[in-house]
Amino acid sequence: MKSPDTQKNNVDSEAITGMLKRIIAENGRDHVWGYAIAIICLILVALSTAYIAYIMKWVIDKAFVDRNLIDAWLICGSIFAVFVARGFAGYFQSVILSKIGNNIIARYQRRIYSHLMTLSVGFFSEARSAQLAAQISQNVSGIRDVMNLTITSTARDLLTFVSLVGVMIFQDPVLSIAFVVIAPPLFLALRYISKRLRSATREAIVLNSHVLGAMQETIQGISIVKAFTMENELESKINKLITAAEHRQNRIARLSERNGPLMESVAGFVIASLFAYAAYRSINDSVSPGVFFSFATSLLLAYDPARRLAKLQVQLERAVVNARMIYELLDMEPRQRDLPDAKPLVVTQARIEFRGVGFAYGSDAVLDDVSFVAEGGQTTALVGPSGAGKSTVINLIPRFHDPKEGSIFIDGQDIRQITKQSLRQHLAYVSQQPYLFEGTIRDNIRYGRPDATNAEIEEAARHAYAHDFIMAQPQGYDTPVGENGVTLSGGQRQRLSIARALVRNAPILLLDEATSALDTESEAAVQKALDEAMSGRTVVVIAHRLSTVVRAEKIVVMQNGRVVEEGNHETLAEADNGLYARLNNLQRPVASGNSRK
């Protein structure tokens, strides 16, 4: 019966073999001709190395023993030609493998990005974006390294080593037997090192992603860091992560380089034995010195490919760990796949209906039996205290999440039965936290509808009361916004976000605290623009300030994940002991106080 360690080693070996097969199957066919040319070049490098070792016998015997000048010149000419061919072959294989490797990295970067776009919002809520980006950047080169290591080790190092051993056997079969005796224990020792390296490599990758992620988050939140004097606390936290990563990298260095003294000791023993044996044969058996020099050259030249082959498993272990972590991401199944028979959404009135909807983030229930109707072409406002579930309701409409219970309908169509792409094409969304992407102001507004003309973009900006401050920028609509709009104020970013939603010209408009970042004057201006934009559309809007939703046709009041009241402002404000009436009375003194200031 096999021991648990033996079974684990077999599983690990099978996993590595399976990973190698997958990587080669996905990338080998697309680059078969490039790899074929690179392999031919590597074969030329290997054979030229073996030829140099073999010709040493003739150099010594013809030039120094027989003193034949013509043969010596011919031999030297052949050596020069071999080195020239070797140089060009090495150049072409290096360039070809670099181009293929760069293409593989680019392909997987595109593939990873495309796959990330299919994953649900829930995945990104659970994963820390900074660590995810750092982990991808560290691991994506692992697939390229697996391919290049496999090709170069097989076509160059292994063939070079075998060719040189062949020369050694040809020159002195008895002495060559020593390699057969030494190689197996050396291989077993290196295999033991590589197994210990595997887990250390994965831990190092995770720790490095934590370090890079923590640094990126600090940079992104630098104003909060400085405002709350968090420098010392964060520096202490990052120092601990860096120290842990440093210790792990030191362990990897010790394991990776442990084969160095092992290989050097073996090489020293073999070379010393060679000289002793050669001296004995030359003195007692009158063996030609050319044989000795050819054998010695083969042995010395075989050292480098043997050392690289000895490190191959260690390097493959590290590359396969990197590749496996990339495939773990690529193999992650989207939680919200379109159903096989999903159909495009057909919008007629844009009427939204919630029927007994329940939802929970993990085990934390957020919505419980939520039912209401947002009539087509009208504005439905969601109000209530913080934590009531309003934002969750908004996020369920574009299917950022799916309900745990109940259903959501648009014009009688269950949104789980329609394609997400068609659903979201009929929606415009303004989030609570406006986000701007790298590029110009015009680019950011155009993301709402890529085929929008410049005139339509400027019209949307005017409706969002953004045109004036845009024109005040150094380059107008072509002004770069900086990272997440860092060069703009919060109110300006929000107005650009609203312009992006307006240019989409969708029949359904979702506003999650759309005016939360605006001052009183800007809020009034944008509210006028929104009133115009809401005309003829179905609007679902969240607002803490009730003054922004008093004109809504329907107000849905939520508390603790349930709908507790429905109506318009007049009826709800007059209801005795109603939640909306209490909220309205609480905000009324604030409004009057603000007006007196």
| Mean per-residue pLDDT over the chain, rounded | 79
538 and 376 Cβ atoms separated by less than 8 Å: yes
Give the closest residue to 373 by CA, choosing from 356, 359, 354: 354
| Banded model confidence at residue 326, pLDDT cuts 50, 70, 90 | confident
- Residues 398 and 391: their CA atoms lie apart, in Å, by 12
Instruction: Give the pLDDT band of residue 442 (cuts 50, 70, 90).
Output: very high
- State which of 487, 505, 523 marks the end of a domain: 505
As a whole number of angstroms, the distance between CA 49 and CA 24 comes to 28
* Predicted local confidence at residue 592, as pLDDT: 39
Do residues 58 and 165 both lie within one domain? yes
pLDDT at 7 over 60: no
> Does 38 share its domain with 140?
yes
Nearest-angstrom CA–CA distance, 325 and 327: 5
pLDDT of amino acid 507: 92
Q: What is the mean pLDDT of residues 519-530?
A: 69
Q: Are residues 206 and 96 in the same domain?
A: yes
CATH number of domain containing 112: 1.20.1560.10
User: 351: closest CA among 410, 426, 275?
Assistant: 410
Considering the domain architecture, whether residues 176 and 213 belong to the same structural domain is answered as: yes
Query: Which of 274, 300, 330 is the last residue before a domain boundary?
Result: 330
- Looking at the predicted structure, is the pLDDT value of residue 128 above 70? no
CB atoms within 10 A of CB 269: 12
Q: Are residues 567 and 442 in the same domain?
A: no
Q: Read off the pLDDT of residues 583-596 as tens digits, 9 standing for 90 and up.
A: 888 766 543 344 33
Mean pLDDT of 503-530: 76
| pLDDT bracket for residue 340 (50, 70, 90) | confident
Percent of the chain residues past pLDDT 90, beyond the cut: 16
Q: Does residue 233 lie in a domain region?
A: yes
Q: Which residue has the higher pLDDT, 378 or 217?
A: 378
Instruction: Say what the pLDDT of residue 63 is.
Output: 64
Whether residues 454 and 396 share a domain: the answer is: no
- What pLDDT digit, counting tens, does each position of 159-211 carry? 888 888 888 778 777 767 666 666 666 666 666 666 666 666 667 767 777 77
Segment 251-262 shows an average pLDDT of 67
Please check whether residues 229 and 133 belong to one and the same domain: yes
Question: Is 391 part of a structural domain of the chain?
Answer: yes
Q: Is residue 341 a part of any domain in this protein? A: no
Residue-range definition of the domain harbouring residue 592: 349-426+508-514+538-597
Q: Is 337 within a domain?
A: no
Give the separation between CA 201 and CA 321, rounded to whole angstroms: 7
Q: Do the domain assignments include residue 473?
A: yes
pLDDT of res. 129: 67
CB 300 within 8 A of CB 49: no
Q: Find, among 177, 181, 172, the residue nearest to 280 by Cα.
A: 172
Answer yes or no: pTM beyond 0.75.
no
Q: Do residue 473 and residue 497 come from a single domain?
A: yes
Examine the fold and report which residue of 296, 330, 364 is the final residue of a domain before the chain moves on.
330
pLDDT tier at 393, thresholds 50, 70, 90: very high
Q: Is residue 187 part of a domain?
A: yes
- The amino acid occupying position 514 is A
Number of domain units in the chain: 3
At 356-389, the pLDDT tens digits run: 999 998 778 899 999 999 999 899 999 988 888 9
Of residues 155 and 508, more confidently modeled: 508
* Position with higher pLDDT, 574 vs 273: 574
Name the more confident of 90 and 225. Answer: 90
Helix (H, G, I), strand (E, B) or coil at 355: strand
pLDDT higher than threshold 90 for residue 305: no
Are 462 and 369 in a shared domain? Answer: no
Instruction: Please give the pLDDT value at position 274.
Output: 66
Tell me if residue 379 falls in helix, strand or coil. Answer: strand
Point out which residues pair with 563 in neighbouring strands: 558
455-471: pLDDT as tens digits:
999 998 988 888 988 99
Q: Which two tokens stand for residue 46?
A: 């290997």
Q: Is residue 295 part of a domain?
A: yes
CA nearest to 399, candidates 114, 119, 128, 115: 119
pLDDT computed for residue 457 by the predictor:
93
Residue 488, phi-psi category: left (phi > 0), alpha (psi -120 to 50), beta (remainder): beta
| Residue 555 and residue 440 share a domain | no
Name the percent of the chain lying above pLDDT 70.
76
Taking residues 20-37, what's their average pLDDT?
Answer: 84
The answer to whether residue 219 scores a pLDDT higher than 80 is no
Whether the pLDDT of residue 46 is over 50: the answer is: yes
For residue 220, the model assigns a pLDDT of 65
> What pLDDT shows up at residue 5?
47
* Together in a domain, 268 and 382: no
Which residue(s) pair with 429 in the sheet?
510
| Arithmetic mean of pLDDT, 315-337 | 79
Residue 491 has pLDDT above 90, yes or no: no
CATH code for the domain of 447: 3.40.50.300
Q: Is residue 587 part of a domain?
A: yes
pLDDT value of position 411? 93
Tell me, yes or no, whether 212 and 69 share the same domain.
yes
Joined together, the tokens standing for residue 568 give 């318009």
Task: Tell me which of 29-33, 257-261, 350-354 is least confident.
Answer: 257-261
Residue 255's pLDDT is 67
Mean pLDDT within 299-318: 74
Helices 159-171, 289-330: axis angle to 10 degrees equals: 160
